[in-house]
Amino acid sequence: MERLETEIYLRYKQIIESQGIVVPAVGESPTSRRVRMEDLLDRYDAFCFDGYGTLYNRGSFVYDGALDWYTMLRAAGKQMRLITNAASDVDSVLAADAAKRGFAFSEAETISSGSLLKDLCDELRGRGKMVREVYYIGRETGKHVLERCGITAVALDAEPAEPIVAISSAKDTPESYALAVKILKRPGAMLLVLNSDAWAPKIPGDDGVTVREPVSGALSERLRRDSMCVANGGDGCETYYLGKPFPTIWEKVKRSLPEGSRVLMVGDTLGTDVLGACVAGFDSALVVGRNVPADELESDEGVLGIRPDWYL
């Protein structure tokens, strides 16, 4: 992992543990736990999947074998959920986009980080925050998530009435970044991280090599650090993280599943999917070689103190 990536996921883990949630210490590497999806079929009642980097990537790209997993689990009558940190649109659109790739998750089976924003806004408004305008950096369609919560994104050269910045993807420019830092240096500033992913894999090139890139979580951490100033006590802006690995999304997942379900979370990232499964009390399976290069896996597990139950 990149240094900043490591620091971000360790920060996430620290935040989670500060809430009284225990993340089990890793033991010896379970080298015998490299499995195929069919080996897990009878062990679990429900299968939760990360989207980007696990089942598919940008455009119409689908990873080899992913549709086979989906078809097999549907045929077996398993509960299935798409658990995504994408905040690029509302859940109905994210479900429709997955269906275009062959993964027919219903809206009810799709749970995104962006869908958690409304409850957070209700909480903040209950504490006297208006949360009516934000300075937004992300995809244009991500504004649909804001609009559903009664929030307007101000122009990229303007400042919102309250010092609030919302990030859903790393679509910043030098100008928008500088203005976001300025806003976050105001007293009482808040940073809403709608997508907590720090790094993500691009579509593999013709040579089969997967390149990884910093995304919204990395941008948000840079903003948080650069906003530290005298006005906010040197601690930086008040920061709220939505999605994996944090508890709120898992509470929503659990409510959507039959009580007592044996659940497996399948993803490509140690710091969100695997850590998140630990937070939820689910088992986890890591798809190796995408967001965690195979030759860095053991080292990354050791640094983060996180290890999946299975490797795919």
Distance between CA atoms of 253 and 106, rounded to whole angstroms?
Answer: 14
pTM of the model: 0.95
Residue ranges of E strands in the chain: 46-49, 79-84, 110-112, 133-137, 152-153, 164-167, 190-193, 199-201, 212-214, 238-241, 263-267, 283-286, 310-311
Query: What is the pLDDT at residue 29?
Result: 52
Query: What is the pLDDT at residue 247?
Result: 97
Per-residue pLDDT tens for 10-50? 999 999 999 998 887 765 555 558 899 999 999 999 999 99
Place of tokens 């995104």: 112
- Please name which of 102, 81, 106 lies closest in space to residue 93, comparing C-alpha atoms: 106
Per-residue pLDDT tens for 213-266? 999 999 999 999 999 988 777 778 999 999 999 999 999 999 999 999 999 999
CA distances from 5 to 11, 141, 142, 215, 217 (A): 10, 26, 24, 10, 9
Which token pair is 204?
């593999």
Per-residue pLDDT tens for 285-312? 999 999 999 999 999 999 999 999 999 9
- Other CB atoms within a 10 A radius of the CB of residue 201 amount to 21
3-state secondary structure of 205: coil
Please, are residues 270 and 26 in contact by the beta-carbon 8 Å criterion?
A: no
DSSP assigned state of 207: T
3-state secondary structure of 75: helix
Length of the chain: 312
- Mean pLDDT for all residues in the chain: 94
**Which string of b and e fits 228-248 if b means at least 16 CB within 10 Å?**
bbeebeeebbbbbbbbbbbee
| Distance from the Cα of residue 125 to its chain's centroid | 24
Query: What is the pLDDT at residue 233?
Result: 76
What domains can be seen in the chain, in order of their start residue? 115-241 (3.40.50.1000)
Percent of the chain exceeding pLDDT 90 equals 88
Question: What integer is the mean pLDDT of 173-201?
Answer: 96
Q: What is the CA radius of gyration of the chain?
A: 19
Helix, strand, coil percent values for the chain (each to nearest 5) = 40, 15, 45
Beta carbons within 8 Å of 272's beta carbon, 6+ residues apart: 9, 12, 50, 85, 196, 197, 243, 244, 245
Please, are residues 312 and 36 in contact by the beta-carbon 8 Å criterion?
A: yes
Query: What is the pLDDT at residue 31?
Result: 55
Question: What integer is the mean pLDDT of 271-277?
Answer: 96
